[in-house]
Amino acid sequence: MKSISEAPPAAARRGADPKGETRPGLSRRRALRRHALPIAAIIVIGYLVLAPLVRLQLLALADGGAGYARGFGTADIARTILTTLLLGLGSLVIGLVFGAVLAWYSIQLPPRARWMASLPILPIVVPPVASMIGWGLLLAPNSGTVNRFIRSLPFWTGGDTGPIDVFTVPWIVFLTALGLTSFVYVFLRAGLLRVNYELVEAGRTAGDGPVGVFFRILLPVVRPSLIYGGAVALLLGLGQFTAPLLLGSIKNVKVLTTEVYFFANAGLADYGAAAAVASPLLLVGFGIVALQRMLLGEERRFVTDGGKTSRYSARRSPAAVVVIGLFSAVVALLPLLALIAASLSPFWTGQIDVSTWSLKNFRELWDTPTAVSAVQTSLVASGISVLVSLPIGYVLADILHRRSLDARVRAIVDILVSLPLGVPAVVFGAGFLFTYTAPPFVLYGTPWVLVVVYVTLMLPFATRMQLAARMSLGDSYQEAARVSGAGPVRTHLQVVIPMIRGSLGGAAALIFVLLTHEFAASLLVRSTRTQVMGTTLYDLWLNVSYPLVAAMGLVMCLVTAAGVILAVRLGGSKALESL
Amino acid sequence: MGRTTRVGIAVVAAALLAACGGQAAAPGGGGMSTAASTWDEVLKKASEEGTVSLYSALLPEVNKELETRFEKTYPDIDLKITRIVGPEVSAKLDAELKSGSLGADIVNHVNYEWAKTKADEGLFAEPVGPNGAGPEWKGTPYLIDDVLQTSALTALGIAWNTEKVTDPPATYEGLVDPKYGGGRLGLVDNLAAPMADLYAWLEDTYGADYLTKLAALKPKFYPSAVPLQEALLSGEISIALWGANSTVKPIKASGGPIDWLMPDPGWAPMNLGYMFKESDNPNAAQVLFDFMASAEGQESLAKDNLSVLPNVAGAVEAPKELTLLDLTRATKPGWLGSAQSEWKQTFGR
């Protein structure tokens, strides 16, 4: 295996030899010095990402694999795996179709309606835990408001239940897909904006119909976006936890992530079994990360979302306004409206009676110390995590961006950075709980465990978004600064960072939004003293009432919205585009 | 142990000592390590500590009542209650003990096997207060191993949506009726020992095929009493097993379409209270433990609930035939896992 100390000959030639050392010795030292930061980064993020997973696996494999025997010894494990696959693949297919349709229409929006292109990402801004509870209120088979409405229609001839049953696999798949659609949309829209319109016209002139243009021109160009977006959607679908936990458990819908949670939270916590049932998800996650690297190759080939000006000019379509408006209204607004109605009601009966509405639940929430402190903890932990994630992401993006570094070092950093996307948050949560309750780093019970978990989970986002910005910026400004005599630190502080300010704001916004929503990992690592909004909402669901849960869900939405607005103000208008 | 009685809770509770094998005091269970030796000093130090943290599985309304009355009696001590349902409490306590970040001074829960194990390991403090260590408790079945206080009995029964059900059954047997099929019946998920014991008792009482008949009704499952009650209120389910009087009553009073009854024969789980020797506020924990054993404390815990001690004002009248949770079974290593596994097969979960 080639050693990283084998520096390029040119580097050795440039080196002076004041102490009469041999050139190979000098070049080795220089190469080591150049690689000191990347190697330190590998050690730090390697510990963050791998330690929880490795420790869990060692536990599962102890006593001749007893954890595996317990984890896979349950009678219905086959059904659980099958449901997980259905959820992952089903939501991927639906998400891809919806995402592609929306992305396609988004580039056909009339000029005055271009602002609507931001609407399909609204579901990302609504916390999944709040949105799933909203859907539960709307689509529960007997009491759901939408079902009641359908049954009240004159043509309804069915019974007194349904027609929609939100507690079953098909509807959980569908609702999961709606959330994934936004992710697919973001990636595909970025891909479509890079399509050269002249190529499309050339294809048409050469006799290609719409199908030919799609397969011969559009698809190859958006392939990286499609693969990346599809892979992200598949991983999110397979690792889906919130919907199966809140909706599926009512009707026996179990997936691997809920099994991980129940094993880790059993009366006598069984981390070995939890690690064992997480293994298929880890294998798929690692596989997808590896496959993605193989298919897309060098990162600079697929991180091109920061393209400057689109050369694409699609035909305008009024239908685009209708399709995007309808999707956004249904997917983002409908559950929010359900939460508003429930939060204002004294108790939720599925029927909306405005005469009973009041702000009592919000007052009660305000008087609940744990809820108020959860909002504070969420804000502080998310805020600190953003502040920690951005510099780490910046350094990692710089390592990935520096072609002078050994390719293997960059590959290792790239894989480590990508892994948190391949590992479901609940699995990380179990690993972190097990790892940080014991030496050398005993963090459980403090807010720092949340920060460590959050920073680890956000590594891919913090790094990729900044890397995209660096790719888009190119090297010329950096080289000009160096030629003008600026050192590396000054170049980064006074040239690079100000020029990617918008992307930094976007990254901060995205990380903040994702962290204030975070539920699955937080549920495991929280202690009674360190609750965040998502876990408090879950506790309210278990312990108090739907109306108070709805009020908390709305507070989460407001906090998130405030975070996005703040990031946009700090990062400029580009922050929203980056988000 | 004979688990069923027709003469009241006290007699049944008397069997608890035998159920737990009439254990000797836990090794090392010699009382507080840092607390004062006399009660007056305990009270003084508790006031200085100024706060006490309780992890509770008691229902929200009972917690509220306990907090209000305790803080009225001891205005210098802020009672902070964290309600944790299901088995999560044991995982949390284990993590806290392992990491040295114990958040609870005192616990009132249903994690019997965990509590019994830790009591045997000598983790808990013995009460030193006039009530908690008084004649009504010490040396009686209510204070197991001198450290586990059977401080509360939850009044669980059948709850129903009054707009959907007008003639609720008076017994659990009556729930096995096709009219409650198709998702109209709500059950509590078998996540912890009380649920497992209830399902075992139902089988013992109504025959081995009782659960199979329930399963045939295609019930819906909820993780605890509160989501079950919310589903009832919304009309998502019409009737439920594991309805709790203390939470149903205030909703009913505010006009919610919901009602409750305790079937006869009935069944009830007890909560075990215990204090950690090594906690942040050991004196305040002693004061709360003592309060829960006092007449006023028992009144707060028994409001719209069953009572442990006899003649407690505000308590629900127990049915003629009431069975308490079988603590011998619930603390037997391995029983819970195997009972849950069988139950899951019956209900296809």
| A340 and A365 co-located in one domain | no
**For residue A126, pLDDT beyond 60:** yes
Same domain, A347 and A447: no
User: Do A268 and B114 contact (CB within 8 A), yes or no?
Assistant: yes
B230–A contact, CB cutoff 8 A: yes
Residue A146 and residue A223 share a domain: yes
Per CB-CB distance under 8 Å, the chain A contacts of B87 are 265-267
Res. A4 pLDDT band, cuts 50 70 90? very low
Chain A residues in contact with B255 by the CB 8 A cut-off are: 346
Which of the four pLDDT bands, split at 50, 70 and 90, describes residue A9?
very low
Amino acid A549 reads V
Q: Which of A205-214, A369-378, B146-155 shows the lowest per-residue confidence on average (mean pLDDT)?
A: A205-214
Listed by start position, the domains of chain B span 4-153+268-325, 156-263+337-347
Tell me whether residue A433 is in a domain. no
The torsion region of residue A207 among left (phi > 0), alpha (psi -120 to 50) and beta comes to: left
Interface A-B, measured as beta-carbon pairs within 8 A, has a size of 138
Same-domain check for residues A336 and A368 = no
Helices (H) and strands (E) in chain B, counts: 13, 14
B60 → closest Cβ in A167, A350, A543? A543
Strand partners, B149: B143, B273
Contact between B235 and A349 using a beta-carbon 8 Å cutoff: yes
In a domain, A430, yes or no: no
Question: Do the domains B156-263+337-347 and B4-153+268-325 match in fold?
Answer: yes
Residues A366-375: tens digit of each pLDDT: 988 888 999 9
Residue B27 phi/psi, 5-degree rounding, is -60, 130
Q: Are residues A323 and A408 in the same domain?
A: no
Work out the average pLDDT over A119-123.
Answer: 83
Q: Which amino acid belongs to residue A498? A: P
Segment B32-51, tens digit of pLDDT: 444 446 899 999 999 999 99
Contact B298, B309 (CB under 8 A): yes
Q: Are residues A474 and A538 in the same domain?
A: yes
Residue B9 has pLDDT above 60, yes or no: no
Which residues in chain B have Cβ-Cβ distances shorter than 8 Å to A143?
A: 231, 234-236
Which of A268, A343, A531 best probes binding to B when mutated, by most B CB atoms within 10 angstroms? A268
Instruction: Compute how many other C-beta atoms are within 10 angstroms of the C-beta atom of residue A477.
Output: 13
Find chain B residues with C-beta within 8 A of A273's C-beta: none
pLDDT at A298: 52
Is residue B16 very low, low, confident or very high in pLDDT (cuts 50, 70, 90)?
Answer: very low
For residue A1, name the pLDDT band (cuts at 50, 70, 90).
very low
Rounded Cα–Cα distance for residues B322 and B11 (Å): 11
Kindly indicate the confidence band of residue A576, based on its pLDDT and cuts at 50, 70 and 90. Answer: low
Distance CA A93, CA A104 (A): 16
Same domain, A326 and A416: no
- Kindly state whether residue A349 falls inside one of the protein's structural domains: yes
**Could you read off the pLDDT of A496-519 as tens digits, one per residue?**
888 888 778 878 888 888 898 888
**Closest Cα in chain A to B88:** A265
Say what percent of chain B tops pLDDT 90.
Answer: 60
Say if B215 is an interface residue toward chain A (CB within 8 Å): no
Percent of chain A with pLDDT over 70: 88
In this structure, are A301 and A399 located in the same domain? yes
Q: Is there a single domain that holds both residue A152 and residue A192?
A: yes
What pLDDT is stored for residue A567 in this prediction? 66
Quick check: B106 pLDDT over 50? yes
- Using DSSP bridges, classify how beta strands B239-244 and B185-188 pair: parallel, antiparallel or unpaired: parallel
**Cα–Cα distances in Å, from A432 out to A54, A441, B176?**
11, 11, 45
Which residue in the block uniquely carries the two structure tokens 């009309």?
A: B235
Residue A272 lies in a domain: no
Lowest-confidence segment of A210-224, A242-256, A439-453 by average pLDDT: A210-224
Is it the case that residue A379 has pLDDT exceeding 60? yes
Q: Which of residues 126-165 of B touch A (CB under 8 A)?
A: none
Chain mean pLDDT for chain A:
82
pLDDT digits (tens, 9 = 90+) for B227-286: 999 999 999 999 999 999 988 998 999 889 999 999 999 999 999 999 999 999 999 999
CATH assignment at residue A129: 1.10.3720.10
- CB–CB of B220 and A250 under 8 A? yes
pLDDT of B72: 96
Fold of B4-153+268-325: D-Maltodextrin-Binding Protein; domain 2 (3.40.190)
Q: In what order do the strands lie in the sheet with B322-324?
A: B4-5, B322-324, B266-268
In chain A, the number of structural domains is 2
* Whether residue A405 sits in one domain with residue A384: yes
Homologous superfamily (CATH) for B156-263+337-347? Periplasmic binding protein-like II (3.40.190.10)
Q: What integer is the mean pLDDT of A113-142?
A: 87
Per the domain annotation, does A141 fall within a domain? yes
Specify if A578 maps to a domain: yes
Interchain pair B236, A542: CB under 8 A: no
Residues 427-466 of A with CB under 8 A from B: 433, 436-438, 442-446
Taking alpha carbons only, the member of A309, A339, A116 closest to residue A196 is A309
Backbone angles phi, psi at B221, to 5 degrees: -120, 140
Residues 6+ apart with CB under 8 A from B25: B126, B145, B146, B147
Domain of residue A238: give its range: 77-252+319-353
Identify how many contiguous H helices and E strands chain A contains and give both numbers.
30, 0
Strands B258-261 and B51-56: unpaired
CA A364 to chain centre: 32
d(CA B73, CA B77): 9
**b or e along B29-53 (b: 16 or more beta carbons within 10 Å of the residue's beta carbon)?**
bebbeebbeeeeebbebbeebeebb
Q: Is residue A529 part of a domain?
A: yes
For residues A512 and A379, give the distance between their C-alpha atoms in angstroms, rounded to a whole number.
9
DSSP element (H, E) containing A247:
none
- Shared-domain flag, residues A368 and A506: yes
pLDDT of residue B129: 92
Contact B161, B239 (CB under 8 A): yes
Q: Answer whether B197 touches A (CB < 8 Å).
A: no
Mode of pairing for the β-strands spanning B185-188 and B220-222: parallel
Q: Is residue A314 part of a domain?
A: no
The distance of B40 to chain A (nearest Cα, Å) reads 30
Give residue for tokens 């006023």: B296
Residues 6+ apart with CB under 8 A from B209: none
SS3 string, A113-144, reads HHHHHHHHHHHHHCCHHHHHHHHHHHHCCCCC
Q: Among A483-497, A544-558, B291-305, which is the least confidently predicted range?
A: A483-497
Q: What was the ipTM of the complex prediction?
A: 0.81
For the whole model, what pTM was predicted? 0.84
DSSP state of A276: H
CA distance A455 to chain B (A): 21
- Shared-domain flag, residues A377 and A523: yes
| Contact residues for A122 (Cβ-Cβ < 8 A; gap 6+) | A182, A328, A331, A332
pLDDT confidence bin for B119, thresholds 50/70/90? very high
Tell me which chain A residues have a C-beta less than 8 angstroms from the C-beta of B101: 442, 444-446, 527, 529
Is B82 in Cβ contact with A249 (below 8 Å)?
no
Which residue has better confidence, A162 or B121?
A: B121
Which tens digits make up the pLDDT trace of A290-322?
887 777 655 454 444 444 444 445 667 788 899
